[in-house]
Structure 1
Amino acid sequence: MMGLAYKQFRTISNQALSSKLDISIEMLGALRVLAHHGELPQQGLAEGLQRERSATKRLVDNCIKRGLIEAHRSETNKKAKYLVITEKGLKIKNEADEIVTEIIEQFFAPLTLEERSSLLNLCRKLIKDDVYLGGY
């Protein structure tokens, strides 16, 4: 049941973010990590998102094409690709955060405040600290 709820939430979120801002929920995750950490090597972003390097590379390439992230080579390690969120990326991240907050409110609207609190507490008991993805 949790999987179905999660899938439905992701679908609703992706549709809204795609139609309004031309980004995906994964792109929003990358923008959040970069906004929080500042400049990161691409591998650091992959670790922050807990994603494979190849999937992160595609995600980064799509963000670069949209002008949301900039990449540059390290002065000390020419192989390392460092990423930073652009001003446009920060603006899009903030707009996306507002959209997702609104979706969360609509998604949880059928639950009372007590039910929401109980659900959150139960989920916290199930999530292992070393697996938790901050910001989600």
Structure 2
Amino acid sequence: MNERERKVIDFQDHRFARVTKQVLDDETYLDKPVQKLVYAVLCMYANNKTMKSHPSIPTLAKKCCCSENSVRAALAKLESLELISVTRRKKGGVNFSNEYTLWVPPDWFFEGGSNNDFESFTV
């Protein structure tokens, strides 16, 4: 590719996903790569204004190249760390994909402190 064909990355372009740097940089709470990958894929699917996304568990597993059980465990960990919230959706007894809301990491996440619930949580 020559210089004329190359383009500078434009993060305002919708072909890119924004991922919280502190989550990717974390070495304290997220101890498995799949946890960061699931978070990144949720970011990829998230609406830029509402920060909500609706990928199914099978879709997340396919995008993350892992099992559905690994995705479920990663989602549980992300939820316990208050990085996401999960709203289970049903209509007329029929299950729909969950709604995932991405949250700004809590202060203790940045400071390397601990969440009261985290210490008793295991995945």
Per the normalisation by structure 1, the TM-score is 0.44
Specify which structure has the higher proportion of strand: 2
When the two structures are superposed, what TM-score results if normalisation uses the length of structure 2?
0.48
Name the structure where helix makes up a greater proportion of residues. 1
